[in-house]
Chain A
């Protein structure tokens, strides 16, 4: 075959130029060396809070947050107070609607917002959401004295009026929802209730789970050192959440 003039001899496939590899390695080593201080906050939230004031927004959502007589309480308030104590900070609570608090968080007038927020919160564009520190479920339960039913089809199930659980029970199951004001007052009937209340109310899970909520807190966008510090705290203390819920349930 005649040699084709358009074809140049193929260049040998050389290795990656050492210059780039060395540069990349140098950068990685430098970053790894500084690794203990990473990530940092663009606006220094963690530095400011440490030994100072933690400005926390709260909106009431029992049992996570309560504002009885204007005094913050509940599972998340307890967690935030402990977190602040670890940072030697005092908490300054601000109450308001979720919209107000998130607007303030977005411009970093608050450092943290709690209020029964869940991982599917629509505020993700305005706030950095922590990883979830607790997962709760709404389950269909029967009194522990009764045998668990094979199927809840056609069963009358008490459910709190005006909740998503009521809607899910209506649309997604064949049970007959009976809307009541307070499910904890229902006696001797099947009931849709938070899983963590089962023991206190003497109920047994039927295995039908209506909804699942992953509980989170909100911090300012991009304040990654603060976010990571809070998440480390939550990971370390998430085992205490059931006990805190029990305390809340007894009250």
Chain B
């Protein structure tokens, strides 16, 4: 068994950049959440945008925790290391996202059904001049929207470089946030124009988006915990690495048959390679050399156990699903 460093030097620089971006995201989101909290009023759409921003904190936190925890070496109590901690945190966050989205959707639709008219009144934030809270809401929403879109665009290429699904999901959520912001603004402007239903409709749209986000992330989290085959960071297709490793093994003259299975642990892949050797000559040495060669193929391949077997039982194809 052998393992190498988690990130090659050129990637390390990207990681440092990603960590800095995520710290910035957290600080920024905390200010946005605070600002939204003080301007919530009785607008449903504001509440939905607020909840989305709070939940938007989980991917950066998961990423930062993961970038520390994954460097902990495995020990006798946790012989596989700590990679899975992120997956568990991610599962919890996506369940929360789903549940809260569902709750706001229910709340908004039932307010719509009861013809509830949201009241927004005056506030006096700056000395003696009263101002309609709606204007402050619009300001707060602009602050909680525009920087997120930019952050998302900065994070996405880094996520691809670092093969990090948590970072990718975070970038996606940030990028999608303009919709939340614009919907909530439309709701508040609607209230201003005397369209009482605009707010609840906007909140429903946002909550549908939150539910969809939650569903998508939940699927990714469950797939990870179920050791699904490695996929591209945007989950669009299977990663070719297992096939590549298999082909490399098959090309070795001492191998008659080979099969590889990999799983994702955070941003790296681990797994097993089964080989049927031609004979027992020098087997340990051959296997060790093969392992060294294979680990050099791709920085994402973190750990590979090669097992010599007499016959390979191949798994059934799962079909599409």
A residues near B216, Cβ cutoff 8 Å: none
Question: How far apart sit A222 and B195, CA to CA, in the bound complex (Å)?
Answer: 9
The winner among B121, B132, B163 for most chain A CB atoms within 10 A is B121
Q: How far is the CB of B187 from chain A (nearest CB, A)?
A: 13
**Which residues between 177 and 234 of chain A lie within 8 Å of chain B, taking CB atoms?**
219-225, 227-228, 231-232
Residues of B within 8 A of A227 (CB): 119, 121
Contact check, A222 vs B196: say whether CB atoms are below 8 A apart: yes
Contacting pair A224 B191 (CB below 8 A): yes
Query: Which of chain B's residues 107-139 have a Cβ closer than 8 Å to chain A?
Result: 116-124, 130, 132, 134-135, 138
- Is B144 in the interface zone, CB < 8 Å from A? no
Interface residue? B178 (CB, 8 A): yes
How far apart are the CA atoms of A221 and B118 in the complex, in Å?
6
- Nearest chain-B residue to A20 (Cβ)? B178
Question: Inside 8 A of B74's CB, which chain A residues have their CB?
Answer: none
- Docked complex: B78-123 residues within 8 A CB-CB of A: 116-123
B122 touches A40 (CB 8 A): no
* Binary CB contact string for chain A from 29 to 45 against chain B (1 if under 8 A, 0 otherwise): 00100110011111110
Enumerate 25 A-B pairs (CB-CB under 8 Å) in ascending A order. A6-B241, A7-B160, A10-B158, A10-B160, A10-B161, A13-B156, A14-B153, A15-B150, A16-B146, A31-B189, A35-B135, A39-B120, A39-B132, A39-B192, A40-B192, A40-B193, A130-B121, A131-B121, A221-B116, A222-B118, A224-B121, A224-B134, A231-B122, A231-B130, A232-B122
| Nearest 4 A/B pairs, CB to CB | A222-B117, A10-B157, A128-B119, A40-B194
Chain B contact residues, CB within 8 Å of chain A:
8, 116-124, 130, 132, 134-135, 138, 146, 149-150, 153-154, 156-158, 160-161, 163, 178, 182, 185, 189, 191-196, 232, 239-241, 244, 297-300
